Amino acid sequence: MSLFELLTELEIEFQMLEHAAVYTVEESRRLKIFEKLDGQACKNLFLRNKRGEFFLLTLPADKRADLKSVAKRLNLPRLSFASEEELEKILGLHTGAVTPLGIINDAQKKARLIIDAELQGKKLLLHPNTNTATISLAFADLIKIIQHTEHDFLIVD
């Protein structure tokens, strides 16, 4: 099932903006994507630890990702970036298109989501599994998708 079929099935409202491919938050800013859609810009990182566990960290785009602190709070071994091959194999995504919405491709539920508490109650700006578009959807709707796919998630301060 495609992401847009799932959004329809779950009756999730969203806005979408198509744009040139972007690989970083800075490139998105240069194209003024965040000014054209209502919502909080997000940064998404696909991570792993030495035990071979995978995590998808979503946080506000302007917030520094302190991987050491996140690992400590969750009592995990050191976190590092997963490889591009792991990203493609597990989430079916490529570099620049990392998004929590990629969990729809993770049938084996290998990725665990870590979501920054600052995002609660906001509309979120996320890639719809491609870096040539951005969608705006409610935080509650992201949680609905996560629960529908039966993925584990944590909301952290």
pLDDT digits (tens, 9 = 90+) for 63-73: 999 999 999 98
pLDDT for the residue numbered 70: 92
Tokens of 146: 């996560």
| Stretch 139-144: mean pLDDT | 98
Tokens of 55: 């995590």
Tokens of 57: 């960290």
Q: What share of the chain is helix, strand, coil (3-state, %, to 5)?
A: 30, 30, 40
Distances (CA, A) of 102 to 37, 38, 94, 99: 21, 21, 10, 6
> Where are the chain's structural domains?
3-156
Architecture of domain 3-156: Alpha-Beta Complex (3.90)
Q: Are 54 and 80 in contact (CB under 8 A)?
A: no
Average pLDDT, the chain: 96
| Stretch 3-15: mean pLDDT | 97
| Rounded Cα–Cα distance for residues 114 and 44 (Å) | 10
pLDDT for the residue numbered 103: 98
